[in-house]
Amino acid sequence: MIDNLVQRQKDPEVSEIDNLIIKLDHVAYRVKKGERRRFIDELVTLIPSYREFKNFKVLNANAITTCIQLHETLPVIVISEGITDDSVVEQYCKKFGSRVHHLAYLVKDIRRVVEVQKQRRIDFTTETIIGSEEEGILQIFTNPTETTNHIIEYIQRFGDFDGFFTPSNIAELMQSTEKLGEA
């Protein structure tokens, strides 16, 4: 096991990815319909310094997303809840329960990260990167890990954009995982 890890660390592609990943950006949960508020209250009880700072209704994905933050630093916790039984979020939760959905990593050059990861046979939920530099953000999800079913998101922001998605790309991002909620 350790020999395998050492061998991977010597891989030039792994070295390049290491240099492109900046830090953990956010942890995203998907929770069952009606559990978002309770989960936020639980987190704030455990860590009172967390503050709610952004709420979004994602109409074309039938979901609500809330962001909470500790002392205005990363990583942020993003919590999405389906508001209808047929929402992407609710379908995912019916299959897997309320849980961490993905870990998002801020990167320097998302196009290069995706290129290298595809060479390494990493699969993504979409063929193309979602978002645009003009709107301030590019992002993409990997397919889930086999062991824990977590997704990794790569995210790159441009200019002074400090959000986690835009109104024009959030539904596309959520819907890119729609096939994962299917039984």
Q: What domains appear along the chain, each with residue ranges and CATH number? A: 12-181 (3.10.180.10)
**What pLDDT was estimated at residue 32?**
96
Q: What integer is the mean pLDDT of 29-33?
A: 95
In this structure, the number of other CB atoms found within 10 A of the CB of residue 12 comes to 8
Q: Please give the helix or strand (H or E) that residue 74 lies within, else none.
A: strand 73-82
Contact 152, 172 (CB under 8 A): no
**What pLDDT was estimated at residue 183?**
37
Phi (first) and psi of residue 162, to 5 degrees: -125, 15
Residue type, 156: Q
Task: Give Cα separations from 87 to 51, 58, 147, 148, 153 (angstroms).
Answer: 26, 10, 25, 22, 20
User: What radius of gyration do the chain's Cα atoms show?
Assistant: 17
Model confidence pLDDT, tens digit, residues 7-24: 555 677 788 899 999 999
**What pLDDT was estimated at residue 8?**
54
**What pLDDT was estimated at residue 175?**
80
Q: Which of 75-89, 91-105, 157-171 has the lowest mean pLDDT?
A: 157-171
Q: Please give the helix or strand (H or E) that residue 44 lies within, else none.
A: helix 36-46
pTM metric for this prediction: 0.87
Residue 12, helix vs strand vs coil: helix
**What pLDDT was estimated at residue 83?**
94
Higher pLDDT, 132 or 163: 132
What average pLDDT does the structure give for the chain? 88
Cα–Cα dist 5/59, whole Å? 44
DSSP bridge pairs for 156:
138
Cα–Cα dist 152/162, whole Å? 19
Higher pLDDT, 100 or 9: 100
